[in-house]
Amino acid sequence: MKKGISAVIIVLIICIILLAIFAVLIDSKVINIKKIGVDKEIQVVDNNDKDDNNTKKDNELKDNLGINFVYSLEDDTYEDTIWCGTFNIIWNRLREDLAKQDIIFAEMSKTVINLNKGTFSENDLEDSSYYVAVDYMTPKLKAEIEKGIKEKFNETSDILDSFDFRENSKDYFLYTMLKKVFNFEYKFDILENGKFADKYDDVKYFGIDKNSKKELKEQIDVLYYDSEDSFAIKIHTKENDELVFCKSPNGKSFSDMYNNILDKEKKYTGTTNLKSEEYLKVPNIMLNAKSQVKEVMNKPFSFANGDEYEIDNAIQTIKFELDNAGGKIKSEAAMSLRNTAVFIPEEEKIRTFYLDSEFAIFIVEEGKEHPYFAAKISDITKFQ
């Protein structure tokens, strides 16, 4: 009997030790585990340029998270990459309103060179879509921003508390928020969960099947169709935002991909609407990501008047949701500057429009030249 009790005690002790080790391992994780259908905040550091001297820790963080931020349409993309134009807005304001010239570091990365091009600008958005502020970094400015985004979007900031606002500060602060809510004219049907890229199971989809109402197809344009694995479509919304989906996108950057879509659209001579036997399948998306843009931080540069500054902190967030009714985007970007020392056709066949493997999505205001959001999705589990 005593031997049996001793054995039980030993087993309990082993279990307690194993639980303690497991707790330590869980506590040491840098990232949150993201399950399908559950929205978790993730934090990503900038690793767009492969030739940058990033620390081993930063590279490990990127590899663990698996979602990459890029900061301009011209930056090279990788699997599961996202971009939104908010950081471009404050970078343009930095160049145009404060520095009065391009931002030049001693060592220039491709991302900074691309940011200086100013490809995406406020001209690609309606005034009602975004809020922007540039001024000295004082508590008064913080209060003005909080009031401004509350009145304009009924929103609060997720990043303002990450910056140190001080009375009589002569450091600069640049901030912007983009807020978009768009609805489809007709809600798409919720489809059965299915596979994505033949390796991710139980993925949520919406779209059109054989039982869907005819009017659902009226809000879709076919931009081009090569095969069920290579096509692009556009879905219209009530608010005149247009969602462009491209399966098997071609190009290294979002700019390349988008321009290739436009080029192929011009050359396409096939039917541009969905026929009665043709169906659509789009995965739900839920994304909440945050990036500290370390690549541009703590590097001296000068204004045109000779004043010298460093970017003390730079943050961007992107929240994006998409389902059968429509979607919404909230993105913030902010940076603080501190003053530093001086430094210088054949017969058409029935087509299949299933976005069930790697695809890109672009959202653009109707009539505008550039999209304001883009994503390239390879692993759908990171986006649901």
Residue 163 amino acid letter: F
d(CA 11, CA 213): 62
Q: CA 283 → CA 1, 2, 123, 180, distances in Å? A: 60, 60, 30, 20
b/e 195-219 (16+ beta carbons within 10 angstroms → b): ebeeebeebbbbbbeeebeeebbeb
Q: Given this model, what pLDDT does residue 372 score? A: 87
* Nearest 10 degrees: Cα torsion 182, 221, 377, 44: -40
Of the candidates 331, 295, 329, the residue with the CA atom closest to the CA atom of residue 313? 295
Q: Given this model, what pLDDT does residue 160 score? A: 98
Domain 42-384 has CATH 3.10.440.10: no
d(CA 119, CA 194): 38
Q: Given this model, what pLDDT does residue 341 score? A: 55
Dump pLDDT digits (tens) for 261-319: 999 999 999 999 999 899 999 999 999 999 999 999 999 999 999 999 999 999 999 99
Q: Given this model, what pLDDT does residue 283 score? A: 97
Residues of the chain with pLDDT under 50: 1-64, 342-344
Strands 308-323 and 241-247: unpaired
d(CA 210, CA 192): 13
Q: What is the pTM of this model?
A: 0.76
Sign of the CA dihedral 71, 72, 76, 78? positive
DSSP 329-378: EEEEEEEEEEEES-----PPPP-EEE--SSEEEEEEETT-SS-SEEEEES
Local structure of 323: helix, strand or coil? strand
Q: Given this model, what pLDDT does residue 348 score? A: 63
Give pairs for 247-250: CB < 8 Å, separation 24+: 247/354, 247/355, 247/357, 247/358, 247/359, 248/357, 248/358, 248/359, 249/358, 249/359, 249/360, 249/376
Local structure of 188: helix, strand or coil? coil
Q: Which two tokens stand for residue 135?
A: 């001024």
Residue with tokens 């490990």: 60
Q: How many residues does the chain have?
A: 384
Name residues whose C-beta falls within 8 Å of residue 338's C-beta, 6 or more positions apart in sequence. 171, 309, 310, 312
Give the relative orientation of helices 110-117 and 86-93 as an angle to the nearest 10 degrees: 80
Q: Which two tokens stand for residue 154?
A: 């009924």
d(CA 378, CA 160): 32
